[in-house]
Amino acid sequence: MIEMQTLGVRTTQPKVSLLIDDSKTLTYPELFKYAAPLALFDVKTLSASHYQQFKDVFVNQTKAVSEPQFEEIASLVDFIPGATTSQMMVALGTISKKNALGGIVALIAYTVPGAMLLTILGYFYGQYTDPKDLNILIFLAIQGIKSSTVALILQLMITMAMKSINNKMHISLSILSAALFVAYQQPYVLILTMMMGGIITIMVEYDAENTIGRRTFAKEQSATPAIFNDPKLINKKNSHKISQLLGNKSLHLYSVILLILLYLNSQQNSLILDLSLSFYNIGTFMIGGTPITLPFMYAETVLNPLYINADAFWLGFGLAAALPGPYLNFAIFLGTHSMGIYGGICCWVAIFLPSILQIWGLLPHWSNIRNNVYLQKFKEGVISVAIGFLATAVYYGWVDACKYDLPTATVISFLSLVYVSLLNFNSPAVVTMGAALFIIRYLALWYYRELDPVIF
Answer with the residue of higher pLDDT: 366 or 382: 382
Which long-range CB contacts under 8 A does 72-78 form with residues at least 24 apart? 72/240, 72/366, 73/240, 73/363, 74/46, 75/366, 75/370, 76/359, 76/362, 76/363, 76/366, 76/370, 77/46, 77/359, 78/46
Rg (CA), the chain: 23
User: How many angstroms from the chain centroid is the CA of residue 141?
Assistant: 26
Cβ(326)–Cβ(355) below 8 Å: no
Residue 21: which pLDDT band, with cuts at 50, 70 and 90?
low
What pLDDT is recorded for position 164? 84
DSSP per-residue string spanning 74-92: HHHHTTSSS-HHHHHHHHH
The upper half-sphere exposure of residue 81, i.e. CA atoms within 13 Å in the direction of its Cβ, equals 23
pLDDT digits (tens, 9 = 90+) for 52-90: 888 888 888 888 888 888 888 888 887 777 788 888 899
- pLDDT of 43 above 80: no
Q: What is the pLDDT of residue 438?
A: 92
pLDDT exceeds 90 at position 4: no
Q: What percent of the chain has pLDDT over 70?
A: 81
Predicted local confidence at residue 14, as pLDDT? 38
**pLDDT exceeds cutoff 90 at 294:** no
Q: Who has greater pLDDT, 100 or 367?
A: 100
Instruction: Concatenate the DSSP letters of all residues of 321-377 into one string.
Output: HHSSS-GGGHHHHHHHHHHHHHHHHHHHHHHHHHHHHHHHHHGGGHHHHTT-HHHHH
Question: Of the ranges 8-17, 135-144, 164-173, 441-450, which one carries the lowest mean pLDDT score?
Answer: 8-17
pLDDT at residue 404, as a whole number: 85
Could you tell me what percentage of the chain is helix, strand and coil, using 3-state DSSP and rounding each to the nearest 5? Answer: 70, 0, 30
Higher pLDDT, 22 or 213: 22
Do residues 335 and 346 lie in contact, with contact meaning Cβ atoms separated by under 8 Å? yes
CA dihedral 183, 185, 190, 193 (to 10 degrees): -20
Q: What is the pLDDT of residue 253?
A: 92
The pLDDT-based confidence of 452 (bands split at 50, 70, 90) is low
pLDDT tens digits along 384-394: 898 998 899 89
Tell me the mean pLDDT in the region 410-418.
93
pLDDT at 108: 93
Question: What is the overall mean pLDDT for the chain?
Answer: 79
Q: Give pLDDT tens digits for 242-262.
A: 677 777 888 899 999 999 999
Look at residue 144 and tell me whether its pLDDT is greater than 80.
yes
Distance CA 311, CA 330 (A): 13
Helix (H, G, I), strand (E, B) or coil at 136: helix
pLDDT at residue number 7: 32
Judge whether residue 9 has pLDDT over 50: no
19: pLDDT strictly greater than 80: no
Please, which pLDDT band fits residue 455 given cuts at 50, 70 and 90? low
The residue that leads in pLDDT, 406 or 238, is: 406
pLDDT of residue 304: 67
pTM over 0.85: no
Share of the chain above pLDDT 90, in %: 20
Q: What is the mean pLDDT of residues 412-438?
A: 89
Q: Is the pLDDT of residue 40 over 70?
A: yes
pLDDT at res. 222: 35
> What CA–CA distances, in Å, run from 332 to 59, 116, 158, 294, 299?
31, 9, 27, 14, 17
Average pLDDT score over residue span 329-351: 90
Res. 11: pLDDT tops 50: no
What number is the average pLDDT over the span 177-205? 84
Of 168, 114, 81, 180, the C-alpha closest to 383 is 81
pLDDT of residue 233: 30
235 pLDDT more than 90: no
In this prediction, residue 451 carries a pLDDT of 58
